Amino acid sequence: MTMYAILETNNNPSETIRSVLKNMLSEKLVDVVLVPFKTEYSSLPMPTLIADPEKMLQAQPLAPAAPFNAARQAASVLRYPTGKKVAVVLRTCEIRALIELAKLKQCVLDEAILIGFDCMGRIENDSYLEMAAQEEDITTSFYADSSMQDRITGICKACEYFQPYGADLTICLLGMPVMEKIGLMAGTEAGENIIKSLGLSTVEQPEGREVAANSLLQKRTEARDKLFSETSEKIKDIEKFQKTIANCLNCYNCRNACPVCYCKECVFLTDVFAHEPEVLQRRAAKRGAVKLPADTTMFHMTRLAHMSHACVGCGQCSSVCPSSIPVADIFRTVSAKVQELYNYVPGRDISESIPYLVFEEESSNGK
């Protein structure tokens, strides 16, 4: 039976989670917690590593904002085992990306406690800041008033992976009267131990989660399919694709923001693409004209070739694009086909190999 505890929220679910995290620290169940945190300087919560339980007051574990996909920050804390227990509170797309990074040996999850929550999506940074200027506690309003949930990004609306995979603990919001109570569900033995050590009384998992999950899944899947068909239309031939990315500046923000663009050094920053003047002149001569910076199309397609199996659809690449290119729409759409080909869901299961690392022996001629 899944171990499940009910937590009263008294109209403030963030506070409830804060006190759980705080207790985990003060009871020394974990040594540090990585969690979104509102600094004294801005409303936008930043991933922050907390050691002092008192600091937990500023944590925003459920804030509907994510200035970036924090998988990378989590991976930097978990780069190698340190003998300390590290809890990380992450959105589903962040946990999935973190699992992909673990497969690439860029972090080790053995000492990590992964805490996820049913993700209702995130709001873009600028809108979030605007809203934060109007009201003190956006997080509570966001869960209290479902119309606010319409303000999440388009890519979040199309995300069917809102339930955490592989988390030690899941903060259950689906099907719960969030302003009264939420659930804390263990997904692993480590998670169970935490629930036990915190002395939380466990109950049978309440019904309603599955129903709520299914109806959200249906809504999200419909939005996803619409996104796929509209995006396919925008890229379906090279002319359309060129129009879609025509304003790209080769700033590589999208690549920087991407949690699963895993290369330590991007080839686009190496000499391979630092062309000699003669090369550019020759290309201009050959094709009549060459747009600079060159290799914009090459950049996007190479990035796809490298990481499309692992795209978690977090949307950060679109969020950071200065030219409003629907990068995430394109990457999710194209990646979906690649992932379907390999029957691979990034971050689904840490024991599942990266498709490019498994090659079957077969005899047919090349096909």
Partner 1 sequence: MSDEFEPKIIALVCNWCTYTAADLAGTSRLAYSANVRIIRLMCTGMIDPKYILKALLDGADGVFIGGCHPGDCHYINGNLKAKKRISGISKIVEQFGFDPERLRLRWIGASEGPEFQRNMNEFFESIKALGSTPVRDRMIL
Query: In terms of CB distance, is 106 or 242 closer to partner 1?
Result: 242
| Least distance CB 233 / ligand SF4 (angstroms) | 19
73 in Cβ contact with 99 (< 8 Å): no
Site string for partner 1, 238-257 (x = CB under 8 A): xxxxx--xx-x---------
Q: What DSSP character marks residue 200?
A: P
Binding mask 244-263 for ligand SF4 (x = CB under 6 A): ----xxxxxxx--xxxx---
Is residue 101 within 8 Å of residue 95, measured between CB atoms? Answer: no
Cβ atoms 172, 183 nearer than 8 A:
yes
Contacts of 191 (CB under 8 A, 6+ apart): 3, 113, 167, 168, 169, 185
Reading the block at residue 102, the tokens are 């673990």
What is the closest distance, in whole angstroms, from the C-beta atom of residue 36 to partner 1 in the complex?
Answer: 34
Q: By CB under 8 A, tell whether 227 contacts partner 1.
A: no
Neighbours of 349 (CB within 10 A): 11
- ω into 293 cis (within 30 of 0): yes
Q: Are 213 and 163 in contact (CB under 8 A)?
A: yes
Contact between 57 and partner 1 per CB under 8 A: no
Residue in the structure block whose two tokens are 């990646």: 335
Strand pairing of 181-186 and 169-172?
antiparallel
Partner that binds at residue 302, options partner 1, ligand SF4, none, CB closer than 5 to 8 Å by kind: partner 1
Q: Which stretch in 24-32, 100-108, 319-327, 330-338 sits in contact with partner 1 by CB under 8 A?
A: 330-338
C-beta closer to ligand SF4: residue 18 or 332: 332
Rule CB under 8 A: say whether 363 interacts with partner 1.
yes
Residues 6+ apart with CB under 8 A from 319: 124, 125, 153, 257, 328
Residue 267, binding choice from ligand SF4, partner 1, none, Cβ under 5 to 8 Å by partner class:
partner 1
Strands, sheet with 86-89, edge to edge from the N-terminal-most edge strand: 4-8, 181-186, 169-172, 112-117, 86-89, 32-37, 46-50
SS3 29: coil
Q: How is residue 367 written in tokens?
A: 């096909």
309 binds, among partner 1, ligand SF4, none (CB under 5 to 8 A by kind): partner 1
Q: How far is CA 333 from the centre of its chain?
A: 16
Q: Does 268 bind ligand SF4 (CB under 6 A)?
A: no
214 or 323: whose CB is closer to ligand SF4?
323
Q: Does 274 contact partner 1 by CB under 8 A? A: no
Q: Binders of ligand SF4 among 283-342, rule CB under 6 A? A: 311-317, 320-323, 325, 327-328, 331-332
* Contacts to partner 1 by CB under 8 A: 232, 235-242, 245-246, 248, 267, 272, 287-289, 291, 296-298, 301-302, 304-306, 308-309, 333-334, 337-338, 341-342, 355-356, 358-363, 365-367
- Residues in touch with ligand SF4 (CB under 6 A): 248-254, 257-260, 311-317, 320-323, 325, 327-328, 331-332
